[in-house]
């Protein structure tokens, strides 16, 4: 009975999709809304104050130095990160990121809860080549992950990609050596990082008056060790993401 209806459902879906496509096309070409949204000037957007690092300064077009310009090498700019995306993720909109981390935690906890432990049939052992190569590759992956996390305020990257790279090293280990004994350590590490993030937010609330406000020295803009608040927050996020992804994949592999 199901098989007989299949072409009809496909046809219905296709008609609906074509209808939607025509609607979207008309809206993009005829309506004013889409086109004005595309050609909007950056100076009229919220991002302009992020780019100038003038979110808490007096005017929307001037920063702490009273300029409409941000010069790397100087001191005293908001949060001190050169990478504006990092500045948004880890400082200006940190509450969003905290919610995202909570969602990731909920997903990880749900996977652990729903993945029923089952008697596992003995898998074939990995070959000698794999067993020799995996520790070397793991080392490189860990170093790359730490590099990406620690340079989050300077270059593209940060806690989430770096954490994913570190987790990939642990996935390799699970696959090659077939053990998931450190699952509990991941959970503890993850909880500690989460508590650390919350403590950072509360200290910001106590000292600066708003949740996750930056209370640490910002340093020289563009220096390797600068933007202490963002570095600490990204390190905690990196630990948490790495532990969560590792424990999710350990659940899937050990299933």
Residues that bind another protein (CB under 8 A): 2, 6, 9-10, 12-14, 16-17, 20-21, 24, 28, 34, 37-38, 42-43, 45-48, 50-52, 67-73, 82-85, 88-89, 93, 96-97, 100, 103-104, 106-108, 110-111, 114-116, 154-156, 160, 221-222, 241, 245, 248, 251-252, 255
Shorter beta-carbon distance to another protein: residue 64 or 126: 64
What CA–CA distance (Å, rounded) separates 46 from 27? 25
What CA–CA distance (Å, rounded) separates 40 from 50? 17
Nearest-approach distance from CB 127 to another protein, in angstroms: 28
Shorter beta-carbon distance to another protein: residue 2 or 123: 2
* Euclidean distance between the first and the last CA atom of the chain, given in angstroms as a whole number: 35
Residue 46 near residue 87, CB atoms below 8 Å: no
Residue 201 near residue 216, CB atoms below 8 Å: no
Nearest-approach distance from CB 107 to another protein, in angstroms: 3
What CA–CA distance (Å, rounded) separates 182 from 76? 43
Cross-strand bridge partners of residue 75? 220
Shorter beta-carbon distance to another protein: residue 47 or 132: 47
Q: Which residues contact 112 (CB under 8 A, 6 or more apart)?
A: 247, 251
Nearest-approach distance from CB 186 to another protein, in angstroms: 15
Shorter beta-carbon distance to another protein: residue 76 or 130: 76
Residue 219 near residue 74, CB atoms below 8 Å: no
Shorter beta-carbon distance to another protein: residue 120 or 131: 120
Nearest-approach distance from CB 162 to another protein, in angstroms: 12
Nearest-approach distance from CB 206 to another protein, in angstroms: 26
What CA–CA distance (Å, rounded) separates 251 from 235? 24
Nearest-approach distance from CB 135 to another protein, in angstroms: 26
Q: Which residues contact 131 (CB under 8 A, 6 or more apart)?
A: 176, 177
Cross-strand bridge partners of residue 220? 75
Shorter beta-carbon distance to another protein: residue 11 or 195: 11
């Amino acid at each position: 009975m199901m098989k007989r209806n299949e072409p009809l459902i496909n046809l219905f879906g296709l008609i609906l999709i074509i209808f939607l496509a025509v609607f979207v096309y008309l809206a993009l070409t005829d309506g004013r809304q889409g086109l004005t949204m595309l050609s909007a000037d950056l100076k009229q957007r919220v991002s302009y104050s992020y780019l100038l690092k003038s979110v808490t300064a007096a005017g929307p077009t001037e920063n702490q130095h009273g300029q409409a310009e941000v010069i790397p090498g100087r001191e005293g700019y908001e949060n001190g990160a050169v990478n504006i995306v990092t500045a948004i993720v880890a400082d200006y909109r940190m509450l969003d990121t905290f919610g995202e981390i909570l969602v990731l935690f909920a997903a990880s906890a749900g996977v652990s809860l729903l993945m029923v432990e089952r008697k596992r049939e003995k898998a074939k052992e990995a070959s000698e080549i794999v067993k020799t190569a995996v520790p070397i590759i793991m080392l490189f992956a860990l170093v790359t992950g730490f590099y990406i996390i620690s340079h989050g305020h300077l270059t593209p990257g940060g806690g989430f990609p770096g954490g994913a790279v570190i987790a990939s090293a642990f996935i390799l280990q699970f696959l090659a050596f077939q053990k998931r004994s450190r699952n509990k350590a991941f959970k503890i590490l993850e909880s500690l990082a989460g508590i650390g993030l919350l403590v950072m937010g509360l200290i910001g609330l106590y000292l600066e008056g708003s949740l996750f406000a930056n209370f640490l020295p910002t340093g020289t803009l563009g220096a390797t060790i600068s933007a202490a608040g963002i570095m600490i927050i990204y390190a905690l996020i990196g630990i948490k993401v790495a532990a969560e992804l590792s424990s999710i994949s350990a659940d899937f592999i050990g299933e």
